[in-house]
């Protein structure tokens, strides 16, 4: 069994909760209030900037220039492809460019940047994996069962699309290769990092659905 198959099994209860979260259910049904989608898009634009930083940082610690290039390409895609999608929504919904990270976004981006800088390369890769894999799975799930026409079609198409799938396959292969030669201790840390980032994926959607604000 591949290491990433084990990760998927361990984190399955978290994925199921993400899938059934009202944000994703309403996105699928095209009934998600625009206000919540706008909140999500703004927070996600902040997220993607830091996600790209975390990817580039992890890449500098890769064991080969081939993998360094993969990570730089992932970082470039996060900014040029995913944020371009956001920009179209910024225009369509007239989303203002001002605002701060909500607690959910703050927690997730801080975690990814800290792990990519201070944990081992293997653990950093495992922590970054849910950002690829869970989005791919959610994108496919929504694409297959969506109600059409759907106001969020471009978003759905982006994550269910082949280009994104290609990046996900690469990230999975890197993680599996690293796990093959990693010690048992490192594999445990990788699993823990994968689970933490998966939980933070849930937190991020939940934060958008609740239009989360700082309490104080």
Ligand X SMILES: Cc1ncc(CN)c(N)n1
2 three-class SS = coil
Q: CA 68 to CA 65: how far, in whole Å?
A: 5
Q: Does 135 bind ligand X (CB under 6 A)?
A: yes
Q: Does 50 bind ligand X (CB under 6 A)?
A: no
CA distances from 80 to 39, 65, 75, 76 (A): 20, 22, 9, 6
Q: Does 204 bind ligand X (CB under 6 A)?
A: yes
Number of residues that bind ligand X (CB under 6 A): 8
DSSP string, 97-145: S-----HHHHHHHHHHHHHHHHS-HHHHHHHHHHHHHHHHHHHHHHHHH
Q: Does 160 bind ligand X (CB under 6 A)?
A: no
Distance of closest approach, residue 80 Cβ to ligand X, in angstroms: 13
- Sole binder of ligand X in the list 23, 47, 194, 202 (CB under 6 A): 47
Q: What angle do CA 115, 121, 126 make, to 5 degrees?
A: 70
Q: Does 209 bind ligand X (CB under 6 A)?
A: no
On whether the CB atoms of residues 73 and 132 are closer than 8 A, the answer is no
Q: Does 129 bind ligand X (CB under 6 A)?
A: no
Q: Map the footprint of ligand X across residues 62-91, applying CB under 6 A.
A: 82
Distance of closest approach, residue 123 Cβ to ligand X, in angstroms: 18
Query: Tokens at residue 13, please?
Result: 């209860």
Q: Does 131 bind ligand X (CB under 6 A)?
A: yes
Distance of closest approach, residue 68 Cβ to ligand X, in angstroms: 19
Distance of closest approach, residue 185 Cβ to ligand X, in angstroms: 27
Binding positions for ligand X, rule: CB under 6 A: 44, 47-48, 82, 131, 135, 201, 204
């Amino acid at each position: 069994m591949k290491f990433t198959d084990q990760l998927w099994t361990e984190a399955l209860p978290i994925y199921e909760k993400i899938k059934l979260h009202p944000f994703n259910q309403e996105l699928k049904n095209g009934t998600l209030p625009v206000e919540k989608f706008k909140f999500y898009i703004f927070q996600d634009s902040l997220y993607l900037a830091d996600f790209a930083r975390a990817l580039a940082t992890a890449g500098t610690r890769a064991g080969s220039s081939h993998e360094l290039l993969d990570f730089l390409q992932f970082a470039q895609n996060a900014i040029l492809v995913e944020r371009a999608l956001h920009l179209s929504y910024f225009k369509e919904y007239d989303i203002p460019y001002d605002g701060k990270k909500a607690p959910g976004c703050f927690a997730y981006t801080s975690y990814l940047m800290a792990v990519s800088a201070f944990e081992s390369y293997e653990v950093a890769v495992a922590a970054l994996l849910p950002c690829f894999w869970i989005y791919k799975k959610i994108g496919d799930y929504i694409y297959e069962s969506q109600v059409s026409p759907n106001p969020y079609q471009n978003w759905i198409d982006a994550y269910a699309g082949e280009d994104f799938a290609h990046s996900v396959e690469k990230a999975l292969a890197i993680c599996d290769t690293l796990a093959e030669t990693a010690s048992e201790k490192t594999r445990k840390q990788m699993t823990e990092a994968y689970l933490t980032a998966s939980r933070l994926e849930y937190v991020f959607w939940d934060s958008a659905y609740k239009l989360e604000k700082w309490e104080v």
